[in-house]
Structure 1
Amino acid sequence: MTTEPPALLPLLWLASPALPVGGFSYSEGLEAAVEAGLVHDEASTASWLDDQLHLGQARSDLAVVAQAVPAWRAADHARLQALNTWVLHTRETHELRLQTEQMGHSMLAWARSLGPAGATLIDALDAAHLAPPTWPLAWSAAAAHSGAPVRDCVTTLAFAWAENQVQAALKAVPLGQGAGQRTLARLVAAIPAAIDTALSLRDDQRQSFLPSLAILSARHETQYSRLFRS
């Protein structure tokens, strides 16, 4: 199903690097992987991000968004609170927990900055009583109000994640622009399968289990020299 322009434009906005939520300041463990020597060139970067997409994002945040968008549209606050709690309880390090809370808070601040245009989103977030709203839940609230199909919403977040990670790799590895675009192309080709996984998972199949990433993230919290907050 093709998204009509009225729904497509809000999704493009939500995928934009200009969205002021601070995503550029997080590498989600990539910088620590570079420090550990696990990521050091184009091939290792692409492999790392491909694994993170399929083993992490597809089974956790993307799966949450796939379930949250219909819940927002149904105003199912109990469901939204359960999903938000799951996200909070599956952040394995302090910095990853701070990331999801900060970006969720920034999403709410963005809605408030829009004035009347953001009122519907603010009302929805306030009514859900998420304490605090995490990034997947806050983002999915905005995506739900676009009217776009659920698959398009999840695909949008997957691309936004991939683009942000490639931008982080350009700085942290570092990579050249050409290598970054090839890495992004590989991720774009992998996203449809990741979306299939995210859409298919039941609550008892959703998971956030990346032990190596959790260890690297914990090390990153005390890493001497770093560019990113995670």
Structure 2
Amino acid sequence: MTTADPHAPTRSAASLLQILWLASPALPVGGFSYSEGLEAAVDAGMVHDESSAAIWLIDQLHLGLARADLAVVAQAIPAWRCNDFARVAELNRWVLQTRETMEFRLQTEQMGRSLLEWARQLGDLGAGVFEQLQAAQLSPPTYPVACACAAARADASVRDSLIGYAFGWAENMVQSAIKSVPLGQSSGQRMLARLAREIPAAVDLAMALPDGDRQAFAPMLAILSARHETQYSRLFRS
């Protein structure tokens, strides 16, 4: 006869809360201040209503996030867990080298630094995240790699961590659409529901990608991001 570990539910709850914390738009890393090309797409007339905004974000999830940042997080979490700083640095360089515009690069650098500062401010509550990021000596830490460090400290599966990361991205992007199209909150909730249905498949693709198949190639998104850098009237950060 076996006896269930009385601590298992507590560990499970703690890991879930950690992932929810990292996915929260309230995390002070500034993700809410970027539109990732969406505002420029609205300005160009490519996104103009709920349907076009939802299609745009679903395409960005599968063609961009899944093949790049999610794939990096999937590989960075196990590297952090075994203190493989050489592998972590390799993934960090890949993120920096494949940002197609200055806007995208500044975003990942700023959010990475902000997550490092968040971990520093937590002190002991950060459970060693700040110390591990410092030990890796990333200059600068990119957001996917820094977030993977925080996720690695949670007792959660890589897949659950990726689902949390993707949902946090989706929430920020839906809010960007609500403000820039503009749309109502009900439209935003319907868009978020559509994205939530797509996230598991995007995560599974990201987890299956080897290094040679990981990519950041979205030409229209890069063009729009470059236009956004000098867009005259905008709500979101460049």
Within the candidate set 47, 57, 68, 1:60 is matched to: 68
2-side partners of 1:69 and 1:210: how far apart? 25
8 Å CA contact 1:112, 1:119 repeated in 2: no
Q: How does 1:65-104 map to 2 (within 5 A)?
A: 65-104=73-112
- Counterpart residue type for residue 100 of structure 1: T
Matched with 1:7 is: 15
Matched with 2:37 is: 29
> Offset at 1:212?
0.1
8 Å CA contact 1:13, 1:19 repeated in 2: yes
8 Å CA contact 2:58, 2:198 repeated in 1: yes
Cα RMSD for the two superposed structures = 1.1
- Counterpart residue type for residue 123 of structure 1: E
2-side partners of 1:163 and 1:221: how far apart? 23
2-side partners of 1:149 and 1:106: how far apart? 24
| TM-score, scaled relative to structure 2 | 0.94
Q: How does 1:199-214 map to 2 (within 5 A)?
A: 199-214=207-222
Tell me whether 1:107 sits opposite 2:115 in the alignment: yes
Matched with 1:193 is: 201
> Offset at 1:16?
1.0
Matched with 1:180 is: 188
Tell me whether 1:131 sits opposite 2:143 in the alignment: no
Larger radius of gyration: 2
8 Å CA contact 2:12, 2:155 repeated in 1: no
Tell me whether 1:168 sits opposite 2:168 in the alignment: no
8 Å CA contact 2:109, 2:141 repeated in 1: yes
How many pairs align?
229
1-side partners of 2:103 and 2:95: how far apart? 14
Runs of 4+ in structure 1 over 6 Å off: none
Identity fraction in percent: 67
2-side partners of 1:15 and 1:208: how far apart? 22
Query: What does the per-residue CA deviation read over 1:40-64, in whole Å, with 9 as the maximum and x for residues that have no partner?
Result: 0011001000000000000000000
